[in-house]
């Protein structure tokens, strides 16, 4: 009983000391390290800084730019690059005028499924200049085979019911060069983002679509006048007239102030700086359509669409496994046909396949992150991934593509058109990762 009383008195005494310290302005955190007066720093001597203060990192000064828009840490080094592999003479023709071809996103460094607006891949029509458009004066005209031709201001577009959806945009040139070293070089002209805008079907209904309408021509405002012809059934399905990207207005390189998002179709059809939509009853050949001509509705719908595709982003080309042990093989999967249903990973060059975990709920025509836990014992091996989409189509190997086309396969075989073939990565005994094709 006596010991319990003493413990209670000690506790109350400690509480009284704490209360007195707080009343005197001492912080609660410092109460855990109160020392007797005899052990405290003598008057006039410099107090020793607590360990957390002595070892704290340098402070980032607050600037107007940090307040107004923010900045990433200077320790983060992921950047886009201009398309690699072009002949120096070709690049020179663009560089001399301050123009660019494809600007590739660093997918190997991506986290999750969304590419930041500042890292999203971009391309301009034939390397054209990016127009500087005042949104207060920009107009979108819809005419042709409609009952009520309309001219919409940006304010008009934002009065309609909006949609926000995740979709990938991928250039037909993506994966065209199979000899490159990194994910960024082989698959960097594909990105996924959250797009906000109004459905094109809503605008066409407002204008009164006529019965003979079978195609529409979308035209941009750049000086080259990028334009594409697309099936009207696609317009009435899921095409977005987008003015937002990842929670903010489109960036100039992404078509500010308004662009088309044509989910699942080749990137060239996602017209930027959108200014004109003309509804027509027959296919019209435009600059963007050169090399992408599909005159029949069925051929157009299938020929424009990306098949199921995936890419392992870790471990991938030029990366290195530092030691033996467990790793998560991770990457991105997508399909222009709809949502990803399954992703499989092989660590023995396709002899056996193991189902990977899908991170989150797969969305239609959007990137899905996958992961597969794997123990590397130091052996040389080839890893790869393949996607099965909701229509049941399975991502093919390059050999399977050649067989389907009826052409002989060779190591230098490059699938034509929208190349969604499997990309292998070779892991050497020292853990270094390289292109598994070359």
Q: Break the chain into its structural domains and give their ranges.
A: 81-303, 309-435
Question: How many other C-beta atoms are found inside a 10 Å radius of the C-beta of residue 322?
Answer: 7
Question: How many other C-beta atoms are found inside a 10 Å radius of the C-beta of residue 435?
Answer: 19
**DSSP-assigned letter for residue 96:** T
117-132: average pLDDT: 84
Distance spanning both ends of the chain, measured CA to CA: 82
Asked whether the predicted pLDDT for residue 94 surpasses 70, the reply is: no
13-31: average pLDDT: 40
Would you state the pLDDT for residue 127?
66
226-246: average pLDDT: 93
Q: What is the pTM of this model?
A: 0.84
Query: Which tokens go with 265?
Result: 């179709």
* pLDDT band of 14, cuts 50, 70, 90: very low
* pLDDT band of 61, cuts 50, 70, 90: confident
* pLDDT band of 415, cuts 50, 70, 90: confident
Q: In whole angstroms, what is the distance from residue 236 CA to residue 37 CA?
A: 80
Query: Which tokens go with 44?
Result: 């006039």
Rg of the chain in Å (alpha carbons):
29
Would you state the pLDDT for residue 38?
43
pLDDT tens-digit readout, 256-270: 999 999 999 999 899
Top-tier CATH class for 81-303: alpha beta
Would you state the pLDDT for residue 200?
98
Would you state the pLDDT for residue 41?
46
Would you state the pLDDT for residue 222?
86
Task: List the Cα angle 225/226/230 in 5-degree steps.
Answer: 130
Would you state the pLDDT for residue 177?
78
Would you state the pLDDT for residue 35?
41
Q: In whole angstroms, what is the distance from residue 28 CA to residue 17 CA?
A: 12
Least confident interval from 29-43, 89-103, 337-351, 359-373: 29-43
92-109: average pLDDT: 78
Q: Hey, which of 11-20, 199-208, 227-236 has the most confident mean pLDDT?
A: 199-208
Q: Exposed, middle or buried, 37 (CB in 10 Å: 0-12/13-18/19+)?
A: exposed
Q: Exposed, middle or buried, 358 (CB in 10 Å: 0-12/13-18/19+)?
A: middle
Would you state the pLDDT for residue 24?
40
pLDDT tens-digit readout, 325-378: 999 999 999 999 999 999 999 999 999 999 999 999 999 999 999 999 999 999
Top-tier CATH class for 309-435: mainly beta
Task: List the Cα angle 165/307/219 in 5-degree steps.
Answer: 60
Asked whether the predicted pLDDT for residue 10 surpasses 60, the reply is: no
Length of the chain: 438
> 100 by DSSP, 3-state: which?
coil
Element (H, E) at 94: helix 88-95
For residue 110, which of 83, 78, 81 has the smallest C-alpha distance?
78
Asked whether the predicted pLDDT for residue 277 surpasses 90, the reply is: yes
Query: DSSP alpha helices (H): ranges in 182-230?
Result: 183-187, 200-207
* pLDDT band of 101, cuts 50, 70, 90: confident
Percent of the chain having pLDDT more than 90? 65
Residues of 41-80 as b/e, b for ≥16 C-beta within 10 angstroms? eeeeeeeeeeeeeeeeeeeeeeeeeeeeeeeeeeeeebeb
Would you state the pLDDT for residue 60?
84
Asked whether the predicted pLDDT for residue 287 surpasses 70, the reply is: no
């Amino acid at each position: 009983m006596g010991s319990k009383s003493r413990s209670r008195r000690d506790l109350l005494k400690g509480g009284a000391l704490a209360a007195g310290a707080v009343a005197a302005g001492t912080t609660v955190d410092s109460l855990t390290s109160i020392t007797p007066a005899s052990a405290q720093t003598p008057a006039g001597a410099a107090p020793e800084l607590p360990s957390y203060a002595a070892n704290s990192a340098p402070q980032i000064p607050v600037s107007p730019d940090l307040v107004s828009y923010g900045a990433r840490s200077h320790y983060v080094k992921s950047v886009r690059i201009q398309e690699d592999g072009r002949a120096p003479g070709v690049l020179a023709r663009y560089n001399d005028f301050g123009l660019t071809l494809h600007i590739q996103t660093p997918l190997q460094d991506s986290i999750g499924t969304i590419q930041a607006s500042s890292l999203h891949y971009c391309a301009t029509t034939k390397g054209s200049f990016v127009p500087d458009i005042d949104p207060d004066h920009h107009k979108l005209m819809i005419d042709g085979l409609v009952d009520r031709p309309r001219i919409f201001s940006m304010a008009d577009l934002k009065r309609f019911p909006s949609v926000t959806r995740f979709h990938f945009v991928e250039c037909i040139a993506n994966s065209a060069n199979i000899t490159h070293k990194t994910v960024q070089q082989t698959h960097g002209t594909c990105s996924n983002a959250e797009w906000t805008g109004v459905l094109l079907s809503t605008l066409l209904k407002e204008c009164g679509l006529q019965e003979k309408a079978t195609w529409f021509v979308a035209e941009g405002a750049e000086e080259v006048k990028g334009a594409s012809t697309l099936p009207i059934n696609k317009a009435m399905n899921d095409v977005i007239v987008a003015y937002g990207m990842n929670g903010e207005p489109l960036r100039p390189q992404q078509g500010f102030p308004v662009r088309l998002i044509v989910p699942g179709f080749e990137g060239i059809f996602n017209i930027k700086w959108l200014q004109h939509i003309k509804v027509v009853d027959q296919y019209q050949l435009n600059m963007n359509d050169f090399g992408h001509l599909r005159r029949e509705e069925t051929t157009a719908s299938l020929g424009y669409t990306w098949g199921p595709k995936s890419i392992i982003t870790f471990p991938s080309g030029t990366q290195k496994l530092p030691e033996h042990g467990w790793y998560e093989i991770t990457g991105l999967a997508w399909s222009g046909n709809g949502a990803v249903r399954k992703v499989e990973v092989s660590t023995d060059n396709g002899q056996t396949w193991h189902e990977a975990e899908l991170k989150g709920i797969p969305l239609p025509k959007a990137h899905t992150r996958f992961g597969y836990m794997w123990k590397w014992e130091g052996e040389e091996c080839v890893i790869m991934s393949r996607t099965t989409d909701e229509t049941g189509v399975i991502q093919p190997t390059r050999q399977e593509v050649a067989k389907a086309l009826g052409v002989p396969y060779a190591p230098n075989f490059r699938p034509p058109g929208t190349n969604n073939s499997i990309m292998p990565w070779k892991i050497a005994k020292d853990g270094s990762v390289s292109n598994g094709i070359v």
